[in-house]
Amino acid sequence: MKCKLVQRCTNGTLLTKYLWLGFILFGLASLTLFNNRSNAMMRTQYFGYPERMVIYRNGSLEQLNATNPRYSKIYQQLQQRMHEPLYVAKLAAVPQILEQIKKTETAIEFEYSKSQSTTYLIHKTTQKYVYTRIVFPLTGTYSELFFLGDKTGYYSGPLGQLTKPENLNEFF
Residue ranges covered by each domain of the chain: 4-42, 52-171
Query: What pLDDT score was predicted for residue 171?
Result: 66
Residues in contact with 41: Cβ distance below 8 Å, sequence separation at least 6, in sequence order: 83, 84
Q: Please give the chain's pLDDT, 172 residues, in tens.
A: 455 544 454 555 655 665 555 545 545 444 443 344 334 444 456 788 899 999 999 999 999 989 998 999 998 888 888 876 777 777 767 889 999 999 999 999 999 999 998 888 777 788 888 999 999 999 999 998 889 999 888 886 777 778 887 776 666 6
Q: Is the pTM of this model over 0.85?
A: no
End-to-end Cα distance, the chain: 87
What is 39-95 written as a DSSP string?
HHHH---SSPPPSEEEEEETTEEEEE-TTSHHHHHHHHHHHHH--SSBEE---S-HH
Beta carbons of 133 and 112 less than 8 angstroms apart: yes
CB atoms closer than 10 angstroms to residue 103: 11
